[in-house]
């Protein structure tokens, strides 16, 4: 695409779509790199000879697609590329996903101890309440940037060594398999949007009430034993989830 292209007022393509495609080209071809500030709305109106309504529509589309973000009172900026995690069909942990993409992953361990399972955790792990479980809470940093806050619960009897494991720069799943002889073979995940509370916002370096992506999960061994319950809070501005679907053949 010609980056010097102007909008065509005689085209059947809506003006805001034309402007969106022009600005998107600047971003995708690295003319404007991550963190770069876009021209102001009045400047875009002047450059392209269009109304502010058209400019705002184009910017809203780019923001919806995660290509830009806005800071109140400061302007509009090119967003950082999102980190991709895979779900469904290929069960892997966050650590493996990020390392496979060439990123450096460090975990800041906030809690790692044996606790009695509360009713919610016991229900997810199909245990009696008060059963001993190992709680780990970690802030995951990718290339030095906080991306998610994850809390895991593992029944103590399945992996006592986990209590003293150094999880700073290794995969939880790999440790459990290597040191405890337990291999996770399948999982169940639910994904929903939530708002960051003050604690979560401070750790993830976002504003309070910023949208986060909450992933709840259960992980199973080959014999159907529940090995793990976890919930992870992911920054919505830096996370992208890839889901692979397989069509089930219909009967009849």
Same domain, 43 and 131: no
Same domain, 73 and 166: no
Count up the domains in the chain and report the number: 2
Same domain, 143 and 47: no
Three-state secondary structure call for residue 93: coil
Which residues touch 192 (CB under 8 Å, ≥6 apart)? 213, 214, 216
Same domain, 193 and 210: yes
pTM comes to 0.63
Query: Span 215-228, mean pLDDT?
Result: 90
pLDDT band for 11, please (50, 70, 90 cuts). Answer: confident
Same domain, 207 and 144: yes
pLDDT band for 95, please (50, 70, 90 cuts). Answer: very low
pLDDT band for 91, please (50, 70, 90 cuts). Answer: very low
Domain assignment present for 249: no
Domain assignment present for 57: yes
Domain assignment present for 2: no
Q: In this predicted structure, what is the pLDDT of residue 86?
A: 45
Cα–Cα nearest to 146, from 76, 98, 77, 91: 98
Q: Does 120 have pLDDT greater than 70?
A: yes
Same domain, 114 and 149: yes
Domain assignment present for 250: no
Domain assignment present for 203: yes
Least confident of 16-30, 66-80, 105-119, 125-139: 66-80
Final residue of a structural domain among 78, 109, 124: 78
Please state at what angle helix 15-28 crosses helix 52-64, rounded to 10 degrees.
50
Domain assignment present for 3: no
Three-state secondary structure call for residue 107: strand
Final residue of a structural domain among 57, 78, 99: 78
Domain assignment present for 248: no
Q: Does 239 have pLDDT greater than 80?
A: no
Same domain, 87 and 70: no
Which residues touch 173 (CB under 8 Å, ≥6 apart)? 92, 93, 95, 96, 184
Same domain, 108 and 53: no
Q: Which helix (H) or strand (E) holds 130?
A: none
Least confident of 5-14, 49-58, 65-74: 65-74
Domain assignment present for 199: yes
Final residue of a structural domain among 58, 78, 98: 78
Same domain, 28 and 110: no
Beta bridge pairs of residue 188: 218
Dump pLDDT digits (tens) for 64-78.
Answer: 777 788 877 788 888
Q: How far apart are CA 168 and CA 148, in angstroms?
A: 14
Q: Does 229 have pLDDT greater than 50?
A: yes
Q: Does 85 have pLDDT greater than 80?
A: no
Provide the CATH number for the domain around residue 208.
3.40.1410.10
What's the burial of 162, exposed, middle or buried (CB within 10 Å: 0-12/13-18/19+)? buried
Round the CA-based radius of gyration of the chain to a whole number and report it. 23
Same domain, 153 and 61: no
Tell me what percent of the residues of the chain surpass a pLDDT of 70.
Answer: 83
Q: Are 60 and 95 in contact (CB under 8 A)?
A: no
Q: Are 215 and 239 in contact (CB under 8 A)?
A: no
Provide the CATH number for the domain around residue 39.
1.10.10.10
Dump pLDDT digits (tens) for 136-195.
Answer: 999 988 888 888 899 999 999 999 999 999 988 888 888 999 999 998 888 888 888 888
Q: In this predicted structure, what is the pLDDT of residue 163?
A: 94
Same domain, 191 and 207: yes
Could you write out the DSSP letters of every residue in 205-244?
Answer: T--TT-EEEEEEEEEE-TTS-EEEEEEEEEETTTEEEEE-
Same domain, 204 and 90: yes
Q: Does 35 have pLDDT greater than 90?
A: no
Q: In this predicted structure, what is the pLDDT of residue 30?
A: 76
Domain that holds residue 178: 83-243
Sign of CA dihedral 79, 84, 88, 89: positive
């Amino acid at each position: 695409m010609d980056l010097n292209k102007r909008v065509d007022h005689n085209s059947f393509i809506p003006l805001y779509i034309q402007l969106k495609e022009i600005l998107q080209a600047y971003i995708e071809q690295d003319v404007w790199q991550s963190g770069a500030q876009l021209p102001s709305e009045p400047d875009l109106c002047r450059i392209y000879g269009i109304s502010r309504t058209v400019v705002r529509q184009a910017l809203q589309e780019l923001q919806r697609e995660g290509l830009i973000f806005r800071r109140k009172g400061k302007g509009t900026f090119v967003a950082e590329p999102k980190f991709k995690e895979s779900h469904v069909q290929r069960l892997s942990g966050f650590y493996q996903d990020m390392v496979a993409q060439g990123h450096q992953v460090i975990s800041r361990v906030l809690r790692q101890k044996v606790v009695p399972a509360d009713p919610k955790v016991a229900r997810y792990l199909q245990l009696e309440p008060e059963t001993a479980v190992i709680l780990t809470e970690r802030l995951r940093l990718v290339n030095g940037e906080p991306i998610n806050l994850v809390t895991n619960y593992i029944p103590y009897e399945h992996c006592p060594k986990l209590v003293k494991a150094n999880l700073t720069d290794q995969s939880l799943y790999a440790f459990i398999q290597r040191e405890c002889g337990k291999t996770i073979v399948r999982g169940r995940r639910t994904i929903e949007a939530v708002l960051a509370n003050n604690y979560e916002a401070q750790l993830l370096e976002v504003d309070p009430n910023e949208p986060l992506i909450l992933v709840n999960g259960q992980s199973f061994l080959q014999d159907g034993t529940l090995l793990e319950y976890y919930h992870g809070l992911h920054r919505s501005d830096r996370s992208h989830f890839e889901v692979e679907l397989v069509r089930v053949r219909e009967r009849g």
